[in-house]
Structure 1
Amino acid sequence: MPDRITSWHPSPSKPKFVPPPGAVDAHCHVFGPMAQFPFSAKAKYLPEDAGADKLFALRDHLGFSRNVIVQASCHGTDNSATLDAIARSNGRARGVAVVDPVITGDELARLHGGGIRGVRFNFLKRLVDSAPKDAFLDVAGRLPVGWHVVIYFEADILEEMRPFIDAIPVPVVIDHMGRPDVTQGPVGPDMRAFRSLLDSREDIWFKPTCPDRLDAIKEGGKGDPWDDFAAAVAPLVAEYPDRCIWGTDWPHPNMEDEIPDDGHIVDMIPRIAPTPELQQALLVDNPMRLYWSD
């Protein structure tokens, strides 16, 4: 068995930024605990346990009120750990599932009852073995009312993804802005291509998240405090204030080499959303509209 990965900071700092009341960490995960929720046999990494108790303790430490728990690839299509965390949240969490394309309507309804409000399609080859677009579109056409599709891909396949995204019949949320090269700046080719995608549909949302991934030293960035990320992303949030949601990405899958301090990640918020109005939209109004509209 491969070594298990610890990818989260052992003692994150208290952020200087105080989120507005009702703020939502709209992109986070749970891992296990493995004894109760085994990892997928197809998982590309094997993390240490990071369950609901740790997640909710971090939520309170960082000053947030709610979570949106996104199914991690290490759990495959078994959403039990995510559903368990939602059930234990006292109504303060919703979720995004990963599902088998042959999922039935009854199973989708069960997920809806458990607090799931979207499905995630992952196109990162280092994390998944296959991403069948036709099957994904079939699922997207059968989702419960009010659900959306979350897509994770890298910038170099954005143009290839455009016809698939155009065909999705429900709102779309792009994880981590499609991983642009933030060292190119706010008007670099990756950001220009991403703006073109956002302009193609009014129901495409995005997450201006993961400075620790997108501005990492090993990716050519400067690292913490992630100045390239702030410079590249702030204009995007200002231009599309009603279509962005934010999250910590805790427990930072596969970040064992450069584990970020979650307090520092929160302190990125006023650098990409400098006004109270932008912060309210990013952290409260937008995620509540997307995940708690019912």
Structure 2
Amino acid sequence: MKTDPPTWHPDPRKPAYAPPAGAVDAHCHVFGPGDRFPYAPERKYTPSDAPKDMLFALRRHLGFARNVIVQASCHGRDNAALLDALRTDPENCRGIAVVDPDITDARLEEMDAAGVRGVRFNFVRRLVNPDPTDVSARLAARVAELGWHVVVYFEAADLTELAPFLRSLPTDVVIDHMGRPDIAAGVESADFAAFRRLMEDEKFWVKVGCPERLTQAGPPYDDVAPFARKLVESFPDRVLWGTDWPHPNMKSHQPDDGLLVERIPVIAPTETLRQKLLVENPARLYWA
């Protein structure tokens, strides 16, 4: 399979906004290097390598202290690259894995010791072939015993179908990318209102980054900001933020991670909100 051109920006700006001490990039990835950590045969895209050393250098450049590294679909259920990154910086890294439903308890415990704190269920069919929800529910029950949570990625159009399953899970549930709202429909749309109603249940958390994936206007993503700000102001104790570096599967442009950081005060307009978003909330979920 042909390797995609790099989706990460070659020279991100040094952001004018300085994150507070202890700030966490709560959604990022590591890819490869492929000669050491091969990509999954069933993958639907092949990224350019973006290994741990690049991620940690970017973290320093942007002024962040910690990372939550999320297993991406191109590595399938082989979490070797993720675990290697976690073990390289165990104090400052936590992980979200993608695992086989039949994984052994011993393997889960090994991942827990390495810093994994949850499993990801991906329901975006253009990226993966999702497991049946009953299979995922059984896995969620197992990881709940470790104190882990579930991260879910889905399209807004699938929320109605998935909501009963999500409500039934015995763990906290973190929703990627604001549930991918339809930006053109506006922040007062019925679909986004339904998403906010789901968020009223205190088991749900949401990541408010990744405007580059949702925008129709392009940088600086002013069309996406009202959605993120609404969530930050409505659910200040259950919001997280991440770069999504190295921005896998992006076709339109290479996002500037420095610009993404500079958008944080736009969506979290007070110091109190930013402290919760970047420090207190991820610390409570991943380091407590």
Q: TM-score range by the shorter chain?
A: over 0.9
Following superposition, which runs of at least 4 residues in structure 1 exceed 4 angstroms of deviation?
none
Partner of 1:145: 146
CA distance in structure 1 between the partners assigned to 2:225 and 2:184 by the alignment: 10
The amino acid that maps onto 2:9 is H
The amino acid that maps onto 1:140 is A
Per the TM alignment, residue 175 of structure 1 is displaced from its structure 2 partner at its CA by: 0.4
Matched, 1:49 2:49: yes
Partner of 2:88: 88
Matched, 1:269 2:264: yes
Per the TM alignment, residue 137 of structure 1 is displaced from its structure 2 partner at its CA by: 0.4
CA distance in structure 2 between the partners assigned to 1:168 and 1:104 by the alignment: 20
Across the two proteins, how many residue pairs are aligned to each other? 287
Partner of 2:241: 246
Partner of 2:164: 163
CA distance in structure 1 between the partners assigned to 2:191 and 2:23 by the alignment: 29
Per the TM alignment, residue 257 of structure 1 is displaced from its structure 2 partner at its CA by: 3.0
Q: Please point out which of 268, 273, 276 is paired with 1:278.
A: 273
Per the TM alignment, residue 90 of structure 1 is displaced from its structure 2 partner at its CA by: 4.4
The sequence identity of aligned pairs, in percent, is: 55
For the residue of structure 2 that corresponds to 1:96, the secondary structure is: strand
CA distance in structure 1 between the partners assigned to 2:3 and 2:220 by the alignment: 30
Asked if the contact 1:183–1:229 (Cα under 8 Å) also holds between the matched residues in 2, the reply is: no
Q: Could you give the per-residue CA deviations for residues 212-266 of structure 1, whole angstroms, max 9, x where no partner exists? A: 0111xxxxx2110111111222122101000001000000001143111001111
For the residue of structure 2 that corresponds to 1:227, the secondary structure is: coil
Q: Please show how residues 100-179 of structure 1 align to structure 2 within 5 Å.
A: 100-143=100-143, 144-179=145-180
Partner of 1:210: 210
Structure 2 length normalisation: TM-score? 0.97
The amino acid that maps onto 1:35 is D
Per the TM alignment, residue 6 of structure 1 is displaced from its structure 2 partner at its CA by: 1.2
The amino acid that maps onto 1:231 is P
For the residue of structure 1 that corresponds to 2:223, the secondary structure is: helix
Partner of 1:98: 98
Q: Which ranges of structure 1 fall in alignment gaps of 5 or more residues?
A: 216-220
Asked if the contact 1:5–1:256 (Cα under 8 Å) also holds between the matched residues in 2, the reply is: no
Per the TM alignment, residue 184 of structure 1 is displaced from its structure 2 partner at its CA by: 2.6
Q: Which ranges of structure 2 fall in alignment gaps of 5 or more residues?
A: none
Partner of 1:290: 285
The amino acid that maps onto 2:247 is H
Matched, 1:233 2:233: no
The amino acid that maps onto 1:191 is F
Matched, 1:195 2:196: yes
Asked if the contact 1:4–1:48 (Cα under 8 Å) also holds between the matched residues in 2, the reply is: yes
Per the TM alignment, residue 186 of structure 1 is displaced from its structure 2 partner at its CA by: 2.2
For the residue of structure 1 that corresponds to 2:68, the secondary structure is: strand
Asked if the contact 1:7–1:252 (Cα under 8 Å) also holds between the matched residues in 2, the reply is: yes
